[in-house]
Amino acid sequence: MKAARLYGSQDLRIEKVQEPTVSSGQVKVKVEWGGICGSDLHAYSHGQSPEPHPISKQSPPITLGHEFSGTIVEVSDDVKSHKVGERVAIEPLIYCGECYACKRGYYNQCSMVGFVGLNQDGGFAEYVVVDQNMVHELPENVSFEEGALVEPTAVSFYAVRESDLKPGDSVAIFGAGPIGLLTLLSVKAAGATKIIVVDISEERLEKAKELGATTVISGLREDIVQQILELTNGGVSIAYECAGVQPTMTNAVASVKQGGQVMAIAVFGNPVAIDMGQLLYKGANVTSRLAYRHVFPEVIDMISTGRLDVKGVITKKINLEDIVENGFEALINDKKQAKILVRPTK
């Protein structure tokens, strides 16, 4: 079968590899669509650790892709919870089940947490084998394209649910990439009224307006914080940091009101400084959440019932053979792109 295998920094190859086989407790999925994530871009740009993951035991080269949907084509004899023919989305977290976090149900905070598609062969392939607990059935009215968006939507949905947001609150979202746009949809569904989105890309800001932002602000302006404070009579209730860089974190902290909250969702490539004096005098707080836990069923239901219309985040659909030039390189160089979906088979 064909698979997109990452060997090192900017060394992603479409190769013929052995089709995977199921072991105890596993299912085999024919992949329909997969999404390219910011984590994939980071791995592509900077490479991965050469050390094998402590749970999956895999080391590079690894088949990328952790946002994907497909159809179950085989189950091991001991799997009773799923059957051949099911349309599914995959929750790709790898965790030990034994550490302090796992025993409390916080498997996303596992001391050895990893991802199918980053630490184990993933969904940029014709077929993939995953553990049965990673599989979530899709209703017939949820397309495979929407199914590929369940995973990134879960990231935003979980962060919004874990934040202090209440219906009627005002929010600012720093970063209008896929996670920022999905955060926009999630806060809108949760009842936020004023939704301010900040980004340096005019195209992404236009997309944010399409999806329901009440105000968009160019990240190139010098008066971003002043604008937000004026629009909200003193600051937003919650600022969602979805860019992962120092300027946006600085502006997020400065933009919240007395008693407000900054929820960091982005993965930061470098340490950032936070003005503790501002937090002290505002009585505000900064918190963060990694990935998700126990939310896939709710996200799928929200998509199925139309409360989360995620299709608008998709900006391009390509074939696996074109994943480097029209996928990874396009996302790096073309800021009007948001979510690019990849289909392994034509």
Residue found under tokens 């969904």? 123
- pLDDT tens digits, 102-124: 999 999 999 999 999 999 999 99
Residues 6+ away with beta carbon under 8 Å from 112: 53, 54, 55, 94, 95, 96, 99
- pLDDT tens digits, 25-57: 999 999 999 999 999 999 999 999 999 999 999
Domain 2-148+309-343 has CATH 3.90.180.10: yes
- pLDDT tens digits, 241-261: 999 999 999 999 999 999 999
Peptide bond into 61 cis (omega under 30): yes
Residues of the chain with CATH 3.90.180.10: 2-148+309-343
**Terminal CA-CA length for the chain:** 13
- pLDDT tens digits, 49-77: 999 999 999 999 999 999 999 999 999 99
* pLDDT band per the 50, 70, 90 thresholds, residue 336: confident
Task: Tell me if 116 sits within 8 A of 58, measured CB to CB.
Answer: no
Q: Which two tokens stand for residue 293?
A: 């836990």
**For residue 87, how far is the Cα from the chain centroid?**
21
pLDDT value, residue 345: 83
Q: What is the pTM of this model?
A: 0.96
The answer on pLDDT for 20 being more than 90 is yes
* pLDDT band per the 50, 70, 90 thresholds, residue 335: confident
- pLDDT tens digits, 176-215: 999 999 999 999 999 999 999 999 999 999 999 999 999 9
Residues of the chain with CATH 3.40.50.720: 156-288
123 vs 134: CA distance, rounded Å: 13
Average pLDDT over the chain reads: 97
CATH architecture assignment, domain 156-288: 3-Layer(aba) Sandwich (3.40)
Task: Tell me if 214 sits within 8 A of 227, measured CB to CB.
Answer: no
198 vs 12: CA distance, rounded Å: 32
Span 89-105, average pLDDT: 98
Residues comprising the chain, all counted: 346
- pLDDT tens digits, 123-181: 999 999 999 999 999 999 999 999 999 999 999 999 999 999 999 999 999 999 999 99
Torsion sign (Cα): 163, 199, 151, 93:
negative
Say what percent of the chain tops pLDDT 70: 100
